[in-house]
Amino acid sequence: MLLRTQRLIARQVWTTAFKNRAVFGLLIGIGLLLTYAAATGWVNVRQQNEIGRIYQQQARQDWLGNPDKHPHRMAHYGHFAFRPKAPLSVFDFGMESFLGNTIFLEAHKQNSVNFSEAGFSTGLLRFGEISMAMVLQLLLPLLLFFLGFGTVATDRETGTLKLILSQGVDWGQLLVGKSLGLMAVMLTLYGPVMVVTGLLWFGLQEGTVSADQRMRLGLLMGAYFLYLSFFCVIAVLVSARSKTAKTALVSLIGLWLMLTLVLPRTSQALGSYLYPAPSKAKFLADIQADVLKEGDSHNPNDPHYKRLKDSLLTAYGVDSVQKLPVNYSGLVMAEGEKISAQLYNVHFGRLLAIYDQQNRFSKAMAFMNPYLAIRNLSMALSGTDFAGYVDFQQQAERYRYEMAQKMNDLQIHFISNKKPGAAEKPHQIDKKHWEEVPDFSYQSPGIGRVFAHETISLLAFAFWMGLLGMVGWRLTKTLTAI
């Protein structure tokens, strides 16, 4: 009997929603936006991955195509690292358009990721891109508020609520039934979106789907279902608390503006204010200053490298670097690369710690705003969050360091300390050695990284489930039909 009553109430909400022709217009409009987002997402991911694959192969061919030359010249010739887009980025573009996907790798210098979409676009990109995730996060909750503002308040105004309650229906059954009816309406858009997302996701992987990717898709679907269900319940609870439908509508619109526009901007600004990050110029200047303190590899009188020279001469029992059995300049370059890389990693770690504090502050606001919880979790599951960008940069840096040190090692063992005469060919080694440096291949992190970075977002989902359940239970004890 209990389930039958709730089913009848839910069916009434469904029927009422689709009696209004304006609802069909809104659904069609949102459907067209979702179609556009799916098409642009598919094209963007396919094109970007194809371009990255072509240029990664070209960079490798250019590297191997170099003639015989000095290995230090090869270290400065450098290489490129391209980050492919994750399959689920077709659903949520996340921060990809602002972070870039390409790094030029060279000796003695650690470059930042470049060629972001924002760098080639107008300031309008700051208003956001139309992705399927954006529509589900922002527009569908607004639609649910428009559909749900009168679920209980209209019945109260017309006197229908008294009649329903007088026939033995309690407040718990009424609120659950209304919420389920609104969720059923929500599924008319949510369901097709997830089906399309799954098809595009599968197509981008060309039939080879890992367990990690399946878990990501499953969690993404579950997270969005919970998120949209929260808004269905919120709409019903606000409607139940409001004396009139007009009051409920105004309250829900104000709540939507607060959750999706005001609080996200405020939390981001407060995080940056409380944990300020240094400018890029200061960041690079501090690294350079520390490198000079540790030792300048280009200064022959530098104390650090003088000690290195003296220790080598003593170890090999010779009185000049020209008599060393290994190339002294190569050893100096290897030591300089080691020092600069360590110092950069220290400074970069400090910078990441500041960004992590900013992000943690913003993530903590998810306990006040479910929109922040789904936004962060969605980007993490889609592989388009800041943590994914950092992981790519760190993998590229490890490759750059190993490449530079490999060239230094070749110089140490194959280049003579004696400078060639004016009529002699410059020192160089066979080009076959370039094959000893493997090509760069980015390995995306597993889903365990998502759980590590988004623990707060997951806890926020549990918090909102408990909060809405408790508020609904308390309202069943205090609500009246008038």
Q: Which of 236, 222, 182 is nearest to 15 (CA)?
A: 182
Whole-number Å distance between alpha carbons of 75 and 292: 21
- DSSP annotation of 384 reads -
Whole-number Å distance between alpha carbons of 467 and 324: 73
Residue in this structure with the two tokens 């990501």, named with its chain if needed: 216
Whole-number Å distance between alpha carbons of 154 and 335: 76
Residue 477 CB contacts under 8 Å (≥ 6 apart), including other chains: none
Question: For residue 246, what pLDDT is reported?
Answer: 94
Question: For residue 144, what pLDDT is reported?
Answer: 95
C-beta pairs of 121-127 under 8 Å, 24+ apart in sequence: 121/97, 125/97, 125/98
Q: Which of 34, 19, 247, 33 is nearest to 153 (CA)?
A: 247
Range in 33-47, 131-145, 289-303, 436-450 the model is least confident about: 289-303
Task: Answer yes or no: is pLDDT of 121 > 60.
Answer: no
Task: Answer yes or no: is pLDDT of 289 > 50.
Answer: yes
Task: Give CA separation, 88 vs 108, 140, 199, 376, 419, in Å.
Answer: 36, 20, 11, 14, 55
Q: Is 106 helix (H, G, I), strand (E, B) or coil?
A: strand
Whole-number Å distance between alpha carbons of 243 and 424: 96
Question: For residue 115, what pLDDT is reported?
Answer: 55
Residue in this structure with the two tokens 């990441």, named with its chain if needed: 352
**Which amino acid makes up residue 382?**
S
Range in 11-25, 132-146, 210-224 the model is least confident about: 11-25
Structure tokens at 451: 């759980």
Range in 33-42, 76-85, 418-427 the model is least confident about: 418-427
Mean pLDDT of 218-235: 96
Compare 21 and 347 and report the one with higher pLDDT: 347
Question: For residue 2, what pLDDT is reported?
Answer: 55
Question: For residue 64, what pLDDT is reported?
Answer: 94
Helix axes 370-382, 263-274, angle to 10 degrees: 80
Question: For residue 315, what pLDDT is reported?
Answer: 87
Residue in this structure with the two tokens 């898709």, named with its chain if needed: 217
Tens of pLDDT along 73-108? 999 998 999 999 999 999 999 888 778 788 999 988
Question: For residue 122, what pLDDT is reported?
Answer: 45
Total Cβ atoms within 10 A of residue 410: 23
Calculate what percentage of the chain has a pLDDT beyond 90: 55
> Are 80 and 103 within 8 A, CB to CB?
yes
- DSSP annotation of 125 reads G
User: What pairing do the DSSP bridges indicate for beta strands 109-110 and 79-82?
Assistant: unpaired
Burial class (CB in 10 A: 0-12, 13-18, 19+), 300: exposed
Q: Which of 251, 246, 173, 230 is nearest to 12 (CA)?
A: 173
Q: Is 80 helix (H, G, I), strand (E, B) or coil?
A: strand
The string over 180-211, giving b where at least 16 C-beta atoms fall within 10 Å of a residue's C-beta and e elsewhere, is bbbbebbeebbeebbebbeebbeebeeeeeee
Task: Answer yes or no: is pLDDT of 116 > 60.
Answer: no
Question: For residue 226, what pLDDT is reported?
Answer: 96
Task: Give CA separation, 264 vs 14, 257, 362, 372, in Å.
Answer: 32, 10, 8, 7
Whole-number Å distance between alpha carbons of 425 and 301: 29
DSSP β-bridge partners for residue 104: 80
Q: Which of 406, 469, 464, 470 is nearest to 435 (CA)?
A: 406
How many residues can be counted in the chain? Answer: 482
Alpha-carbon dihedral sign for residues 202, 206, 207, 208: negative
Q: What are phi and psi of 14, to 5 degrees?
A: -60, -50
Whole-number Å distance between alpha carbons of 385 and 193: 21
**Which amino acid makes up residue 392?**
F
The chain-wide mean pLDDT, for the chain, equals 89
Range in 96-100, 455-459, 472-476 the model is least confident about: 96-100
Tens of pLDDT along 166-196? 888 889 999 999 999 999 999 999 999 999 9
Tens of pLDDT along 38-60? 999 999 999 999 999 999 999 99
Q: Which of 173, 190, 133, 237 is nearest to 475 (CA)?
A: 237
